[in-house]
């Protein structure tokens, strides 16, 4: 196991992508153990032979089709008509639009890129600093993998062998809570900094934008409702979402053309390939860890500190926050979760609750150096220096950590809706 981990770190230090670092270190460890290398190939192929993983490209395709057909802009316009008139209106709209978008794409990077391109220039023209616009955009993009549908929750459910439907429902209240926390912080900053107001409230504008965005707003209802009613499985509901986005873009909005469909398919292929390569690479890596009883070692270390479930969750929060700052989110889930499962089961920690807690931790890490992908994506698109971003983002980071603690300490926030649905 030491050889596996040392080789993994060395390959990362050489600049290899994390998927190739896992593949290389697994090959070295399996060869050193004297196992035939055909085991490596078998583990790689078995890593992606799972029916629920088919939902990933379909949900990505649904989000890409919606972006190509202009549904994102319709949702932004509706959010602006709804709350743009209050002080700091565009900043509030940024958060509300992310809440609405999160029910469509399931990807924090996709939402971050879309809202950065649309909102940051508008906010700068309205008098906000560009760095503040980037900070609030990156912060609100963390909502996407929490509010269903969510690619990260699908991966977590697959690894932990828990109901993806329960995970989808469990993310709704925590996601809304985080949205409320971000809106509260935005409101406080708006008063302190005297942020501008947007156009005056107009009932006719609200009705018009609601009518224009109605079909996009209906998609989350179709996803969650169809899933919980037992009409669709997780994979089938992803296919329905993709078909729905295609139908609305082609027939109803008539803003989707052949070129747009081609771009959506190409983007989906790229994103799916990167995700599934990581999933496949993690399979032999995790197999070697399990072979050398890494889960039992982790159980022994943490049990030696405390066996109180709440204290264990708080310790894991610290661990996940640290790991999230310099490791890719999917990689952490795939590598670390199998090691933690025996510990979680031994302490009767609900895996659905822990799933939401884990995802929130890792998303906070996406906003911080050295490898915060949300920070890099938003700063690169808006051309903002990292130092300026960090000066503006810290109030939102504090708010996210407070929300994380509340969600960790109050499991009912995540478990009530799945319990009612049963």
How sure is the predictor about 103, in pLDDT bands with cuts at 50, 70 and 90? Answer: low
How many domains does one find in the chain?
A: 1
CA triplet 55, 61, 66: central angle to 5 degrees?
A: 130
Is 17 inside a domain boundary?
Answer: no
Q: What's the Cα-to-Cα distance from 242 to each of 46, 122, 236, 252, rounded to whole Å?
A: 26, 30, 10, 15
Q: Over range 210-238, report the average pLDDT.
A: 76
Is 365 inside a domain boundary?
Answer: yes
Q: Shortest CA distance to 80 belongs to which of 110, 100, 64?
A: 100
Is 250 inside a domain boundary?
Answer: yes
Q: What is the DSSP string of 56-115?
A: HHHHHHHHHHHHHTTHHHHHHHHHHHHHTTSBTHHHHHHHHHHHHHHTT---HHHHHHHH
Domain that includes residue 109, residue range: 52-421
Query: Would you state the structure tokens that stand for residue 127, as one six-digit string?
Result: 């008098």
How sure is the predictor about 179, in pLDDT bands with cuts at 50, 70 and 90? Answer: very high
Q: Please report, rounded to a whole number, the percentage of residues in the chain having pLDDT higher than 70.
A: 93
The H or E element spanning position 339 is: helix 329-346
Residue 184 pLDDT: 93
Residue 69 pLDDT: 80
Q: Over range 319-338, report the average pLDDT.
A: 80
Residue 354 pLDDT: 96
User: Where does 301-366 show beta strands of DSSP type E?
Assistant: none
Is 13 inside a domain boundary?
Answer: no
Is 203 inside a domain boundary?
Answer: yes
Residue 228 pLDDT: 67
Assess whether pLDDT exceeds 90 at residue 147: no
Residue 394 pLDDT: 92
Is 397 inside a domain boundary?
Answer: yes
Residue 106 pLDDT: 61
Q: Over range 298-310, report the average pLDDT.
A: 77
């Amino acid at each position: 196991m030491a050889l596996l981990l040392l080789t993994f770190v060395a390959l990362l230090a050489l600049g290899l992508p994390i998927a190739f670092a896992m593949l290389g270190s697994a090959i070295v460890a399996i060869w050193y153990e004297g196992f035939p290398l055909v085991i490596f190939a078998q583990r790689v192929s078995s890593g992606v032979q799972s029916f629920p993983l088919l939902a990933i490209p379909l949900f990505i395709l649904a989000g890409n089709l919606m972006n190509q057909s202009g549904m994102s802009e319709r949702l932004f316009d509706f959010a602006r008509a709804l709350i743009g008139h209050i002080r700091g209106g565009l900043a509030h709209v940024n958060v509300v639009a992310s809440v609405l978008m999160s029910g469509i794409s399931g990807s924090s990077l996709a939402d971050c890129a879309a809202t950065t391109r649309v909102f940051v220039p508008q906010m700068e023209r309205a008098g906000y600093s560009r760095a503040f616009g980037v900070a609030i955009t990156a912060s609100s993009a963390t909502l996407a993998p929490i509010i269903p549908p969510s690619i990260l929750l699908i991966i977590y459910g697959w690894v932990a062998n828990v109901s993806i439907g329960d995970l989808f429902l469990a993310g709704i209240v925590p996601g809304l809570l985080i949205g409320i926390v971000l809106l509260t912080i935005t409101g406080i900053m708006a008063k302190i900094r005297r942020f501008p107001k947007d156009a005056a409230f107009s009932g006719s504008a609200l009705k018009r934008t609601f009518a224009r965005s109605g079909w996009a707003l209906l998609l989350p209802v179709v996803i969650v409702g169809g899933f919980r009613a037992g009409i669709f499985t997780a994979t089938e509901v992803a296919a329905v979402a993709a078909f729905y986005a295609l139908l609305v873009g082609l027939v109803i909005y008539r803003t989707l053309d052949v070129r747009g469909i081609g771009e959506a398919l190409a983007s989906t292929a790229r994103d799916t390939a990167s995700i599934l390569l990581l999933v496949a690479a993690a399979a032999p890596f995790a197999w070697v860890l399990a072979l050398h009883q890494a889960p039992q070692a982790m159980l022994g270390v943490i049990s030696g500190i405390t066996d109180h479930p709440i204290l264990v969750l708080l310790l894991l929060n610290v661990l996940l926050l640290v790991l999230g700052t310099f490791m890719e989110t999917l990689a952490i889930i795939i590598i670390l979760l199998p090691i933690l499962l025996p510990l979680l089961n031994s302490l009767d920690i609900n895996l659905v609750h822990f799933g939401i807690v884990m995802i929130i931790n890792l998303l906070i890490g996406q906003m911080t150096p050295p490898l915060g992908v949300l920070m890099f994506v938003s700063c690169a698109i808006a051309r903002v220096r990292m130092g300026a971003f960090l000066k503006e983002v810290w109030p939102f980071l504090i708010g996210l950590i407070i929300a994380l603690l509340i969600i960790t300490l109050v499991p009912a926030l995540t478990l009530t809706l799945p319990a009612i649905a049963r």
